[in-house]
Structure 1
Amino acid sequence: MNLVLRNARLLDPLSGEYTEGDLRCESGRIVETGPGLSAPDARSIDVRGAVVLPGLVDAHVHVTASTADLGSLPSTSPSYVAAHSARTMSRMLDRGFTTVRDASGADYGLADAQSEGLFRGPRLLFCGRALSQTGGHGDSRTRGANAKDDHPCCAGLGRVADGVDAVRAAARDELRKGAHHIKVMASGGVASPTDRIDSTQYSADELSAIVEEASAANRYVAAHAYTARAVNRALELGIRSIEHGNLLDDRSVSLFLDHDAYLVPTLVTYWALKEEGREHGLPESSWRKVDEVLGAGLAALERAARGGVKIVYGTDLLGGMHRHQNHEFRLRAEVQTPLEVLRSATSTAADLVDLTGEIGTLAVGAYGDLLVVEGDPLDDVGVLAEPKNFRYIVQGGEVVGGTAA
């Protein structure tokens, strides 16, 4: 875990500037940068002028979503889902993502297993199960199903809780199990069978109670929300992170700024769901919903970026579509500068997940999570859309992948 990268172009995402020199990691952290570093006991790699940047962060993943048919997960063996999750996370690491924030489904077991080295994968920031009202985006029952099974050992992305007391208990339970954040379903969604995309979900009192519980534990709430009505309501009630936000409006932009909140668009998932969602288990009824949000996502991103909203990288891919994770870089580049897109997957993402100075930076003291990249991502952020450009992938100061590894 002692490593020196020599003759590098070190890219600071915050300033957008390059520094030429060496970088040394020791005991999993960056300990020194500068020219001609002396480290006789460390592994030394001459990167010959290649770009070195922080490991990437994807702030909206579902590592347990082995299929786009989310309603089938609760009846799937937890051990089978865990095996799929380990493979999914290993492939995410191969795409340059050294930290991911799971937006429902993953638990402390997967996070502990990864941190203990039982399988390779990105650092996992989990929320457990998302909180959903009856008939909400996290309620996977069809109209004819009445019984709900929220047994903790079963796979699944959501848990149903109704009423202020019940949502307080559900939030406390996820926090008890170590949740890094709480996820709530504040509007309808594509992959749920009985709700409308344009609905708002949970009462103001319920959402406020969830925010209060998260704040009491020094955690925050992320909310699934599409329409401006749902987004604006969630922001007014103290939600810190809006997931998707495809149909936000100008008032949304003002509220993001007023409440120091973050937007996590997930453009690539709608592109993938439309192209091949049905091949990977997405029910026909859900596939027909995709058009309601597909075209609006890029316009919403442009509006938010123009207004100065803090934007974070997210993908939200399911099943076999996880392989498109890096394509989000290309989609965002249509309306954002390369530096803006890069920050969304590094420094701004670190701020959202309360790991400022720990990830998303090459500063001394940060985790030794690095990418050695062929090409200049500030000239063309599409360089990051092709993992074949990643010469070395470094996690915790150790080379864990890349074309030259």
Structure 2
Amino acid sequence: MSITVLKNGNVLDLEKGAYLEGYSVVIEGNRIVEVTDGRAEFNDAQVIDVKGKTVMPGFIDCHVHVLASNANLGTNAAQPNILATIRALPLLDAMLTRGFTTVRDAGGADWALMHAVESGLIPGPRIFPSGKALSQTGGHGDFRPRSDTFEPCSCCFRAGAIARVVDGVDNVRLAAREEILRGATQIKIMASGGVASEFDPIANTQYSEDEIRAIVAEAEAANTYVMAHAYTGRAIARAVRCGARTIEHGNLVDEAAAKVMKEHGAYAVPTLATYDVLGVYGEKLGLSADSIAKVEGVRVAGRESLKIFRDAGVPMGFGSDLLGEMQEFQSNEFRIRSEVIGNLETLRSATIIGAQVLNRVGQLGVIAAGALADVLVVNGDPLVDIEAVANGAERIEYVFQNGKRVKHAPPM
């Protein structure tokens, strides 16, 4: 089994918010086996001197859409299946290059794409897929034009569709079971209106409480959980009381809803980068006028939501939720968050908290013996200068995923 030693680096302990200076990280196979300040010497080991560099865990993005190669999700869903899949490949590779070794797909990706990455067939971050998100008729996942008809059964869904439309308690139970059968590691629901869909105002709540509870029951029966797209305090509190474990976006949260989240042990996954970019590029890249009109109302409020979640003690995972060509701005989320909650909490959101969301504590988001060897070597100190990670791949010199070097700096 191959051994790699990252020698004499500054290992970032994100729990303590401090560096272990001059430490070495020993990787054997796909695991970290030792973090030591002694001389790590092994026969036939590959030794990489990273003196003066930051050694830290690979990033976790808890809200991506890897199959959304087009910003207009209706257009994206209309693509032939093979094109939707092929167009995802460079998006996945670019995420990995930016240091995101794990992502939770919030609608679209399935077991097959997850397996393609796991087996080494294609480069990309480890995927925790949601399958198709569940949406009520006329909800955030319903991108039909008013004159259209819908596919008659789930077997007709296109690869580029991030969601499926399903109504009624019995039907949502079946849909949740189908997505789990197809490999979904969690179930995504649309619990309020959204930005990218034309006909559902953001203030609307979606799905009845009975439907949400039925979906939650099916997820829990399969030892997993529900992630809920929700913007307003009303929609957030309602979804959490019905059992949703993570709230996606949450830009219009209020103190009362944040208190409900804290009481129920729920997580927030804000996705602020997407609104800044949508405001600039959305129209050019095909977002409808109705959707663009919704952006500004949630963009400014999103920054305030970070303070509300923080003050209520709600843990926040890192999310980006970028669509199409805008996915290149994924790392901007670091910059936006650091301005509000500081560098350390921002970095924790993309590592420690992300691992909690995924139920992978001790395996992901940490540099420690026994953890999976998802490791970054960064040129700079992200605790002081968030630009060390906010500029995408620019200052990330090495990326290790499952112990394999998947990116390295070019020779000087």
Pair 1:128-2:134 in alignment: no
- The corresponding residue for 2:9 is 8
Pair 1:99-2:85 in alignment: no
Q: 1:157 is matched with which residue: 158, 162, 172?
A: 162
- The corresponding residue for 1:249 is 254
- The corresponding residue for 2:399 is 393
Structure 2 counterpart of 1:105, which letter?
Answer: G
Q: 1:261 is matched with which residue: 247, 261, 266?
A: 266
- SS of equivalent residue, structure 1 residue 10: strand
- CA–CA separation in structure 2 for the residues paired with 1:148 and 1:293: 32
1:67-90: per-residue Cα shift (whole Å, max 9, x none)? 011012232111111111111000
Query: Displacement, 1:102?
Result: 0.2
Inter-CA distance 291–148: structure 2 relative to 1 (3 Å threshold): farther
Q: 1:46 is matched with which residue: 46, 49, 71?
A: 49
- The corresponding residue for 1:344 is 349
- CA–CA separation in structure 2 for the residues paired with 1:147 and 1:395: 40
Higher mean Cα deviation, 200-209 or 24-33? 24-33
- SS of equivalent residue, structure 1 residue 143: coil
The aligned runs of 1:4-403 (5 Å cut-off) are 4-20=5-21, 21-34=23-36, 35-148=38-151, 150=154, 151-152=156-157, 154-386=159-391, 387-403=393-409
- SS of equivalent residue, structure 1 residue 279: coil
- CA–CA separation in structure 2 for the residues paired with 1:276 and 1:154: 25
- SS of equivalent residue, structure 2 residue 275: helix
- CA–CA separation in structure 2 for the residues paired with 1:154 and 1:51: 39
Query: Displacement, 1:329?
Result: 0.5
- SS of equivalent residue, structure 1 residue 310: coil
- SS of equivalent residue, structure 1 residue 290: helix
Verify the 8 A CA contact 1:2 1:398 in the aligned structure 2. no
Structure 2 counterpart of 1:284, which letter?
Answer: A
Normalising by structure 2, we get a TM-score of 0.96
- CA–CA separation in structure 1 for the residues paired with 2:358 and 2:112: 20
Query: Displacement, 1:153?
Result: 5.0
1:70-116: per-residue Cα shift (whole Å, max 9, x none)? 01223211111111111100000011100000000001111010111
- CA–CA separation in structure 1 for the residues paired with 2:32 and 2:150: 51
Query: Displacement, 1:399?
Result: 1.5
- SS of equivalent residue, structure 1 residue 118: coil
Verify the 8 A CA contact 2:68 2:160 in the aligned structure 1. no
Q: Percent sequence identity over matched residues?
A: 46
Verify the 8 A CA contact 1:388 1:403 in the aligned structure 2. no
Aligned length: 405
Higher mean Cα deviation, 69-78 or 160-169? 69-78
- CA–CA separation in structure 1 for the residues paired with 2:9 and 2:43: 18
Structure 2 counterpart of 1:24, which letter?
Answer: V
- SS of equivalent residue, structure 2 residue 189: strand
1:102-141: per-residue Cα shift (whole Å, max 9, x none)? 0000011110101111111100110100000000000111
- CA–CA separation in structure 2 for the residues paired with 1:358 and 1:280: 38
Verify the 8 A CA contact 1:107 1:127 in the aligned structure 2. yes
- CA–CA separation in structure 2 for the residues paired with 1:262 and 1:292: 23
Verify the 8 A CA contact 2:141 2:162 in the aligned structure 1. yes
- SS of equivalent residue, structure 1 residue 288: helix
1:16-37: per-residue Cα shift (whole Å, max 9, x none)? 1211311111111101111211
1:252-309: per-residue Cα shift (whole Å, max 9, x none)? 2211211111000000100111100112111122111112211110001111112221
- CA–CA separation in structure 2 for the residues paired with 1:94 and 1:26: 22
- SS of equivalent residue, structure 1 residue 128: coil
Q: Unaligned stretches of 5+ in structure 2?
A: none
Structure 2 counterpart of 1:232, which letter?
Answer: A
Verify the 8 A CA contact 2:78 2:158 in the aligned structure 1. no
Higher mean Cα deviation, 55-64 or 31-40? 31-40
* Aligned Cα root-mean-square deviation (Å): 1.2
